[in-house]
């Protein structure tokens, strides 16, 4: 097991390094820098270069001293990974050797009460990963009942979405819903009855977070861009944490990759080839040490020399959902 940052335990670090096989002078993009766990391990493993992207400005300044020691091999970019083409072009780079994503929020974001991501802490309703865009407060207090129900159902996969949306509308007639605890109480009252292991606000909070950070479209955009940006033989490696994300990755690779065997036999019909079509899951030891790893699914593929047209891609075809 590799050394871990106490603020955020990196997921499937050994597996990522094993697939990536960092090599001298190659360029890798870590699209989800977070606490820098994967980036630091990659930089330690070989004399390679990393471009670390995060939309959350606090992630970029987290390991200042250590990052300074890698200054000649590490470029930090504040921005969305959906804009990866621009970020890479701005650095004067055309192609890279790998694009890596470890999706979702970091433990630092979840455990920082002020960010308003969690119903475990009382805080203003925010939930933005970066500094731009609508907050959860605006959505919960402004959106119509039907739209709230759709957000909670489609992005949170919450079956009781209509009841919860109705509860929100009734609640905000009395006063604006300002905090995570206020929203969580409304959800608890709306769904009624006893609840077991999963807190009744879990799915609604997930739905609001995914919607307001536009997480699924961001994922779609970076997958499409990866085709253009990867060198032949370059690697696309994605760790997803829930079915909405994993479905998009799985479908993208299903439509756009062929097996290694067919590729090596001269079948040149796809922009990627895979060695393993199935998702890789974390091992038992990792899950025991870090229960958050339980739902992680890692998928990866290698770039071929073919690049399809942008028009071949379709968000809905890959399982993307809209409100």
Ligand X SMILES: C[S@@+](CC[C@H](N)C(=O)[O-])C[C@H]1O[C@@H](n2cnc3c(N)ncnc32)[C@H](O)[C@@H]1O
Contact positions vs ligand X (CB under 6 A): 8, 10, 32, 34-38, 53-56, 59, 80-82, 102, 104-106, 129, 218
**Nearest partner of 183 among 241, 104, 119, 102, judged by Cα:** 119
Q: Which helix (H) or strand (E) holds 54?
A: strand 49-54
Closest separation in Å from C-beta 17 to ligand X: 12
The smaller minimum CB distance to ligand X, of residues 55 and 203, is found at 55
The smaller minimum CB distance to ligand X, of residues 217 and 262, is found at 217
β-bridge pairing 27-30 and 74-78: unpaired
Half-sphere exposure of 200 (CA within 13 A, CB side): 18
Closest separation in Å from C-beta 103 to ligand X: 7
Three-state SS at 93: coil
* Dihedral angle sign, alpha carbons of residues 305, 254, 225, 46: negative
The smaller minimum CB distance to ligand X, of residues 112 and 259, is found at 112
β-bridge pairing 272-274 and 297-303: antiparallel
**Nearest partner of 22 among 92, 93, 78, 73, judged by Cα:** 73
The smaller minimum CB distance to ligand X, of residues 36 and 167, is found at 36
The smaller minimum CB distance to ligand X, of residues 26 and 54, is found at 54
Closest separation in Å from C-beta 216 to ligand X: 10
Looking up tokens 């960010």 gives: 115
Within 10 angstroms of residue 19's Cβ, the number of other Cβ atoms is: 18
Closest separation in Å from C-beta 124 to ligand X: 18
Which residue's CB comes closest to ligand X? 34
Closest separation in Å from C-beta 242 to ligand X: 12
């Amino acid at each position: 097991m590799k050394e871990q940052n106490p603020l955020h335990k990196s997921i499937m670090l050994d597996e990522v390094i094993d697939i990536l096989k960092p090599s001298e002078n190659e360029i890798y993009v870590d699209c989800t820098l977070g606490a820098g766990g994967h980036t630091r391990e990659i930089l330690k493993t070989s004399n390679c270069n990393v471009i670390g992207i995060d939309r959350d400005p606090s992630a970029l300044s987290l390991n200042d001293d250590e990052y300074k020691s890698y200054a000649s091999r590490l470029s930090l970019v504040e921005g969305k990974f959906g804009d990866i083409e621009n970020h890479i072009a701005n650095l004067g780079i055309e192609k890279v050797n790998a694009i890596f994503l470890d999706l979702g929020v970091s433990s630092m974001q979840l455990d920082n009460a002020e960010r308003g991501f969690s119903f475990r802490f009382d805080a203003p309703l925010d939930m933005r990963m970066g500094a731009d865009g609508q907050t959860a407060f605006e959505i919960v207090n402004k959106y119509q009942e039907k739209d709230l129900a759709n957000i909670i159902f489609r992005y949170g996969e919450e079956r009781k979405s209509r009841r919860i949306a109705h509860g929100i509308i009734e609640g905000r007639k009395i006063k604006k819903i300002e905090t995570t605890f206020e929203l969580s109480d409304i959800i608890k009252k709306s769904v009624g009855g006893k609840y077991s292991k999963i807190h009744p606000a879990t799915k609604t909070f997930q739905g609001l977070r995914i919607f307001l950070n536009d997480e699924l479209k961001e994922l779609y955009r970076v997958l499409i861009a990866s085709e253009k940006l990867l060198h032949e033989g370059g690697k696309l490696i994605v760790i997803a944490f829930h079915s909405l994300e994993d479905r998009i990755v799985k479908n993208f690779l299903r439509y756009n990759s062929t097996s290694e065997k067919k590729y090596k036999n001269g079948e040149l019909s796809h922009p990627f080839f895979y060695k393993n079509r199935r998702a890789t899951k974390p091992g038992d030891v990792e899950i025991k040490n870090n229960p958050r790893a339980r739902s992680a699914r890692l998928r990866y593929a290698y770039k071929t020399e073919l690049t399809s047209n942008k028009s071949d891609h379709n968000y809905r075809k890959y399982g993307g959902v809209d409100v």
